[in-house]
Amino acid sequence: MSTVLRLARVGRKNVARYRIVAADSRMPRDGRFLEVLGTYNPQSTPKQFTIEADRMAYWIKQGATPSETIGNILKQDRFYEKMEALGKGLTAETMNIARLPERKRKAKTHKEKKAS
């Protein structure tokens, strides 16, 4: 069984909220999952997310692969740096690792069709 860490959509129409879950890769997006690892709200400004770090670390150590979006969330939270520091024996107070700010994205521009 290959396990993936991905988003499962919850919430009503036009109000997207997501759970961060560990699921079997053969299950559908909103289908059966193994465990809820956190939440993600992309519509708030700035985007909000929570992660249960100990359970996320457990699943990554077991070989679960994070999806692209989950990988970006973990990078923004500096999850891997925190894991490395904990592995070296540092405590949460001495680490002083803060979450990175949200990326600024350029607005999409529509290219005009060339007249020939």
The predicted-structure confidence for 42-92, as pLDDT tens digits, reads as follows: 888 888 889 988 899 899 999 999 999 999 988 888 888 888 877 777 765
**pLDDT score, position 82:** 81
> Alpha-carbon distance 83 to 81, whole Å?
5
Domains in the chain: ranges and CATH:
3-95 (3.30.1320.10)
> CB atoms < 10 A from the CB of 1, how many?
6
pLDDT in tens, 7-21: 999 989 999 999 999
Give the pLDDT band of residue 22 (cuts 50, 70, 90): very high
Cα–chain center distance at 20:
7
Helix (H) or strand (E) holding 66: strand 65-66
**pLDDT score, position 91:** 65
- pLDDT higher than threshold 70 for residue 113: no
**Backbone φ/ψ region at 51: left (φ over 0), alpha (ψ -120 to 50), beta:** beta
**pLDDT score, position 68:** 92
Alpha-helical (H) ranges within the chain are 53-61, 68-76, 79-87, 92-95
Global pTM value: 0.74
> Alpha-carbon distance 2 to 24, whole Å?
6
**pLDDT score, position 106:** 74
Nearest of 20, 19, 28, 27 to residue 1 by alpha carbon: 27
